[in-house]
Amino acid sequence: MTEIKKLTKIALIVDAVIFLIFGTMQVFLYDMTLNTEGWTNPFHVRAFGGILYVAALFAIIMLRKTEWEEIKLAYIFLFSLCFPVIIIEAALLVWLGSTFLAATVSQMIFDLIIISGKVSLGIVAYMRQ
């Protein structure tokens, strides 16, 4: 059995914090922070925010484990959640970016940078584990 390395624990902490921040913004602060375009169906965004809360809970639970084999599958799943988000957000930015407000475009670029950095940290931690 292999111990969980410090870099992997740091990646899980970063993951939990980012998921909690994004989940809070999407569940409670949607109209104030994310709805700059005036979209009319906020329930899909709030449902995804709930998924982010569950993912943050999984990251916190994984931090309590001591062996890598106990969390390996959940770790891969947790970081693979971000790949569809990156692809969809980049595609929206390319195809519909010219119709969005400047605040929405800058927010999407910031999201892409944050999520890509988080995924990169997760991959590096997985490879070193």
Q: Per the domain annotation, does 105 fall within a domain?
A: yes
What is the full per-residue pLDDT of the chain (129 aa) written as tens digits?
A: 788 899 999 999 999 999 899 888 888 877 666 665 656 566 677 788 888 899 999 999 999 998 989 898 888 888 888 888 889 888 888 888 778 777 778 888 888 898 899 899 989 999 988
Q: What is the pLDDT of residue 93?
A: 86
Q: What is the pLDDT of residue 37?
A: 60
Q: Per the domain annotation, does 80 fall within a domain?
A: yes
Q: Per the domain annotation, does 123 fall within a domain?
A: yes
The Cα–Cα gap between 54 and 70 comes to 18
Q: Per the domain annotation, does 1 fall within a domain?
A: no
Q: Give the chain's domain count.
A: 1
Q: Per the domain annotation, does 40 fall within a domain?
A: yes
Q: Per the domain annotation, does 13 fall within a domain?
A: yes
Q: What is the pLDDT of residue 48?
A: 81
- Phi, psi (degrees; rounded to nearest 5) at 67: -105, 140
**Domain ranges, residue 42:** 6-128
Q: Per the domain annotation, does 51 fall within a domain?
A: yes
